[in-house]
Amino acid sequence: MNLSFTKNTAHWVLILSVMIGSWACNKDETELFVAAPLQEYFDRFQVEGAARNVTVDYTASRVSGYLRIITRSGVIGQCAHSDTKPNTVIIDQIYWNTATDLEKEFVVFHELGHCVLNREHLDQADNMGNCTSIMTSGTGSCHIDYTVTTRKALLDELFN
């Protein structure tokens, strides 16, 4: 057996492995990802947008979604931005574990409102003191009332 051929082959295999590993890492940084538990809510957001003649294109918006522990007090979700991931929805894992379906929908839709629709916070209240927008900051004086009864009006406002 030719020993120099074996060393040379091993050398090229090592170089090729490092290159493939580098490409895979770089690819992961720019690929879109949505955590499985969030996917249903991302899909619903698309459906609700379409019902109001708004096209939601996650690829064009470069939106990813993650469940993570958010350590900042009082924060249950955020839309984060970076050079490699322009729009990243992050939902607090601890909140998610105990939230109802409507609570999950509310926080995901709120963050997608920032990341996809470029909406800012809106803390306006109706004459009962209830928030008139899903885009409330949660720190304003209005009361969040996202229920089966109020859902349609709040989604109409979100997408218009």
Residue 24: per-residue pLDDT:
39
Please, which residues have CB within 8 angstroms of residue 90's CB and are 6 or more apart in sequence? 65, 66, 67, 68, 70, 77, 78, 79, 80, 111
Instruction: Please report, in tens digits, the pLDDT of each residue of the chain (160 residues total).
Output: 444 444 444 443 334 343 434 333 443 446 789 999 999 999 999 999 999 999 999 999 999 999 999 999 999 999 998 887 789 999 999 999 999 999 999 999 999 999 999 999 999 999 999 999 999 998 888 999 999 999 999 999 999 9
60 residue type, one letter: A
Residue 155: per-residue pLDDT:
98
Contact 98, 107 (CB under 8 A): no
Please, which residues have CB within 8 angstroms of residue 150's CB and are 6 or more apart in sequence? 130
Contact 45, 56 (CB under 8 A): yes
Angle between helices 101-115 and 151-159 (to 10 degrees): 10
H or E element: which one contains 92? Answer: strand 87-92
**For residues 33 and 64, what is the distance between their CA atoms, to the nearest angstrom?**
5
Angle between helices 151-159 and 36-51 (to 10 degrees): 80
Residue 11: per-residue pLDDT:
44
Residue 139: per-residue pLDDT:
87
Residue 30: per-residue pLDDT:
60
Contact 115, 63 (CB under 8 A): yes
Which residue, among 68, 55, 74, has the nearest Cα to 117 in the 3D structure? 55
**For residues 12 and 99, what is the distance between their CA atoms, to the nearest angstrom?**
52
